[in-house]
């Protein structure tokens, strides 16, 4: 989680246990998924409790290279975890 702390600092954000838990869940996601699918999995794993936590933090995970945003015409945006 050292890398997460470094990227949070670079983005002028604080390290939180919720962000750490979200990253752990993101690393288990397979294929393309929506924010709602991610939220439900994170909620089921006890990583987060509020849907707004996902919406407030998703841009950080995209900008930091942890996930890729896939914009589909006439559909909701999908996401994919970057492996590595």
Query: For the chain, what are the domain ranges?
Result: 2-81
Spatial separation of the C-alpha atoms in residues 75 and 77, rounded to whole Å: 6
pLDDT of 3 above 90: no
Q: Which CATH architecture group holds 2-81?
A: Orthogonal Bundle (1.10)
Query: Which pLDDT value is given to residue 84?
Result: 57
> Are the C-beta atoms of residues 24 and 67 closer than 8 Å to each other?
no
Query: Which pLDDT value is given to residue 72?
Result: 83
Beta bridge partners of residue 33, listed in sequence order:
79
Query: Which pLDDT value is given to residue 79?
Result: 96
Q: For the CA atoms of the chain, what is the radius of gyration?
A: 12
Q: Which of the 8 DSSP states describes residue 83?
A: P
pLDDT of 67 above 90: yes
**pTM for the whole structure:** 0.87
pLDDT in tens, 21-64: 999 999 999 999 999 999 999 999 998 889 999 999 999 999 99
């Amino acid at each position: 989680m050292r890398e997460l702390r470094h990227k949070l600092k670079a983005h002028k954000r604080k390290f939180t246990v919720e962000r750490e838990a979200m990253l752990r869940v993101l690393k288990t996601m397979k294929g393309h998924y929506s924010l709602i699918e991610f939220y439900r999995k994170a909620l089921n794993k006890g990583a987060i409790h509020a849907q707004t936590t996902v919406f407030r933090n998703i841009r950080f995970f995209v900008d930091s290279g942890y996930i890729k945003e896939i914009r589909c015409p006439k559909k909701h945006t999908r996401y994919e975890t970057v492996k590595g």
